[in-house]
Chain A
Amino acid sequence: MYDFAYQKPASVADAVKLLAGDPEAKAVAGGQTFLPVLKQRLNKPSLVVDLAGLGLSGIKQSANALSIGAMTTHATVARSAEVKKAIPGLAQLASWIGDNQVRHRGTIGGSLANNDPSACYPAAVLALGATIKTNKRAIKADDFFQGMFTTALEPDEIITEVEFPLPVEKSAYEKFRQPASRYAMVGVFVAKGPAGVRVAVTGAGQNGVFRVADMEAALAKSFAPDAIAAIKVSPEGLNSDIHGSAAYRAHLITVMAKRAVAAAG
């Protein structure tokens, strides 16, 4: 790892100032993606701005939204009684990310900002029609994800919280894990809530998370596994690698979507 300067500001405004003042500055949240990247010398920040002092951790529920602070760890979301009750699929998703140690450090904000094409949270955020709030604005999930490792975020923009609209009637996540890394080879989040019936797929697409309109239409009519059993997703634009071909992933999407619908009840 190359060396860098380190700052842990105490306010969002100060953190933004540090990031804006130095084009080579980078933010760190849980570090579970950032530190492995630095170890590979794929990134050489001059300054690392630790977001842990900004008070961005915590879960709040109001009548029509569940808000999760950007620095809330996967473990906290997985164990939260509020999340389990309001959006069970979201708690389940968090509980399957990596392992206990990754979940104790990794954060929802870090996962979304990173937008790894096989990360889990993007599927939930897109399927639930969540809003990503930053120091500057509120970004709809549909506008946030812009392809592999690319988001609508500007370099000096910090995610502060993620707002999930309530009530969510049904939610479930099913994940076919890549056996070594435990990332999603294919992960499907299905939801029925204020954003309608949505099906979001992660792990499979070359451009990251995407929705499956045919499945959404079928499930809006009848929310049952059989309703989508015959729907095939085209392998075009899906990932092919040593773990599985695009055709294999395309097949898995329907399998995982059916399981998710069954789990959502």
Chain B
Amino acid sequence: MPKISLKVNGKAVSAEVEGRTLLVELLREKLGLTGTHVGCDTSQCGACVVHVNGDSVKSCTMLALQADGADVTTIEGLAQPDGTLHPMQAMFREHHALQCGFCTPGMVMSAIDIVQKHPEGLSEAEIREELEGNLCRCTGYHNIVKAIAAAFPLMHQKQAA
């Protein structure tokens, strides 16, 4: 089986994978990072979103082999080692942006990407549009949108500092 080496949440890892092994399977089954969820396995729901080289991608629609040499961040890689949450996670908690929590890891990873890619600012309508690839069956989205709007100044402040 081919062997790949990549960085996951800042740590170098290597693994043997099959041609057909998906990135999400590598993360969950080989690396034990079960925070990344599989909701649909058909590229629709966004529960599996992680960052690959700084872009949000659906890890159910990428081969592990395509991530050879890449820098991958999952939901597990967001909080500080002392447990301090990433501002996006903190705002999801603050604004009650989750109920069952199944969509949440992918939602948070997409949300961070959206905020990072729009330093110029985001309207509520733009946040909703940008969340196109993430489905939530519980919250009705309102609180998710509020959480992202609230995280925006925190994330950009931190980057400016």
Instruction: Please list the residues of chain A having a beta carbon within 8 angstroms of any beta carbon in chain B.
Output: 1-6, 8, 28, 31-32, 35-36, 38-39, 48, 50, 52, 75, 98-102, 104-105, 182
Q: Are B20 and A3 in contact (CB under 8 A)?
A: yes
Give the size category of B's interface with A. Answer: 20 to 34
Q: Are A3 and B19 in contact (CB under 8 A)?
A: yes
Q: Are A100 and B19 in contact (CB under 8 A)?
A: no
**What are the residues of chain A within 8 A of B63 when measuring CB–CB?**
6, 28, 31, 35, 48
Q: Which secondary structure dominates where chain B touches chain A? A: mixed
CA distance A207 to B20 in the complex (A): 32
Q: Are A32 and B43 in contact (CB under 8 A)?
A: yes
Q: Give 9 A-B contacts (CB < 8 Å), ordered by A residue.
A: A28-B63, A31-B66, A36-B42, A39-B41, A98-B133, A100-B133, A101-B133, A105-B58, A105-B62
Q: With A75-B55, A104-B55 in contact, is A99–B133 under 8 Å at CB?
A: yes
Q: Which of A2, A32, A102 contacts B20 (CB 8 A)?
A: A2
**What are the residues of chain A within 8 A of B66 when measuring CB–CB?**
28, 31, 50, 52
B56 within 8 A of A: yes
Q: Mark B6-47, 1 if CB is under 8 A from A, else 0.
A: 000000000000111010000000000000000001110010
B132 within 8 A of A: yes
**What are the residues of chain B within 8 A of A50 when measuring CB–CB?**
65-66
CA distance A36 to B65 in the complex (A): 16
Q: Are A35 and B65 in contact (CB under 8 A)?
A: no
What is the distance, in angstroms, from B56's C-beta to the closest C-beta of chain A? 5
Q: Are A4 and B19 in contact (CB under 8 A)?
A: yes
Q: Shortest 7 CB-CB distances between A and B: which pairs?
A: A99-B133, A99-B132, A104-B55, A1-B20, A4-B19, A6-B19, A101-B58
B130 within 8 A of A: yes
B114 within 8 A of A: yes
Q: Which of A3, A31, A39, A100 contacts B130 (CB 8 A)?
A: A100
What is the distance, in angstroms, from B35's C-beta to the closest C-beta of chain A? 17
Q: Are A101 and B19 in contact (CB under 8 A)?
A: no
**What are the residues of chain B within 8 A of A52 when measuring CB–CB?**
66
